[in-house]
Amino acid sequence: MSQINRKKLLLLGGSHAEIPLIKAAQDLGWYVITTGNNRDGLGHSFADKTVFADFSDKNAMLELARNEAVQAVCSGCNDFALLSTVYVCEKMGLQGHDSYATSLEIHHKDRYRALATRLNIPTPQAKVVRNDLEFEDAIAMLKFPIIVKPVDLTGGKGIHRAENADEAREAYRDAVGRTREDHVVVEEFIQGTNHGFSAMLVNGKVAFAFADNEQYFLNKYMVSGANTPTTTSDAGLKKLRDYSERIAKELSLVDGILHIQYIEKFDGTPVIIEICRRPPGDLYIKFVKYATGVDYPKFIVMAETGEDISDIVDVPTQGYWLRHCVMPTCEGVVRDVVFAPEIESNIVEKFLWFKPSDVIADKLLYKAGIVFFKFNSLVEMQEKTGRMTDLARIIVE
pLDDT at 202 over 60: yes
**DSSP label at 143?**
P
pLDDT at 182 over 90: no
b/e burial code for range 369-379 (CB count within 10 A of at least 16 → b): bbbbbbbeeee
| 312-319: average pLDDT | 97
Whether 332 is in a domain gets the answer: yes
Q: What is the DSSP string of 194-248?
A: EEEEEEEEETTEEEEEEEEEEEE-SSTTSEEEEEES-SS-HHHHHHHHHHHHHHH
Predicted local confidence at residue 249, as pLDDT: 98
pLDDT at 251 over 90: yes
pLDDT at 83 over 70: yes
Domain extent for 372: 193-396
pLDDT at 34 over 80: yes
Question: How far is CA 371 from its chain centroid?
Answer: 17
Q: How confident is the model at residue 393 (pLDDT cuts 50, 70, 90)?
A: very high
Q: How confident is the model at residue 118 (pLDDT cuts 50, 70, 90)?
A: very high
Q: Are 230 and 319 part of one and the same domain?
A: yes
Q: Which CATH number characterizes residue 52's domain? A: 3.40.50.20
b/e burial code for range 61-77 (CB count within 10 A of at least 16 → b): bbebbeebebbbbbbbb
Q: Are 235 and 360 part of one and the same domain?
A: yes
Number of domains in the chain: 3
Contact 241, 168 (CB under 8 A): no
| 5-18: average pLDDT | 95
Summarize pLDDT for 295-307 with one digit per residue, the tens.
Answer: 999 999 999 999 9
**Last-in-domain residue among 170, 188, 206:** 188
Backbone angles phi, psi at 33, to 5 degrees: -110, 120
Q: Which CATH number characterizes residue 202's domain? A: 3.30.470.20
Summarize pLDDT for 342-368 with one digit per residue, the tens.
Answer: 999 999 999 999 999 999 999 999 999
Q: Which CATH number characterizes residue 178's domain? A: 3.30.1490.20
Whether 145 is in a domain gets the answer: yes
Q: What's the CA gap between 170 and 262, in Å, rounded? A: 26
Predicted local confidence at residue 156, as pLDDT: 64
Q: Are 173 and 211 part of one and the same domain?
A: no
Q: What's the CA gap between 71 and 89, in Å, rounded? A: 10
Q: Are 210 and 270 part of one and the same domain?
A: yes
Q: How confident is the model at residue 3 (pLDDT cuts 50, 70, 90)?
A: low
Predicted local confidence at residue 152, as pLDDT: 67
Whether 50 is in a domain gets the answer: yes
Angle subtended at Cα 333 by Cα 330 and Cα 339, rounded to the nearest 5 degrees: 70
Q: Are 214 and 66 part of one and the same domain?
A: no
Q: Are 198 and 183 part of one and the same domain?
A: no
Q: Are 280 and 174 part of one and the same domain?
A: no
Q: Are 85 and 204 part of one and the same domain?
A: no
Whether 118 is in a domain gets the answer: no
**Last-in-domain residue among 173, 188, 203:** 188
- The residue with greater pLDDT, 153 or 148, is 148
Q: What is the mean pLDDT of the chain?
A: 94
pLDDT at 5 over 80: no
Summarize pLDDT for 91-108 with one digit per residue, the tens.
Answer: 999 999 999 999 999 998
Q: What is the DSSP string of 81-128?
A: HHHHHHHHHHHHT-SSS--HHHHHHHHSHHHHHHHHHHTT-----EEE
Summarize pLDDT for 41-79 with one digit per residue, the tens.
Answer: 999 999 999 999 999 999 999 999 999 999 999 999 999
pLDDT at 270 over 50: yes
**Last-in-domain residue among 94, 112, 146:** 94
- Calculate what percentage of the chain has a pLDDT beyond 90: 78
| 309-332: average pLDDT | 97
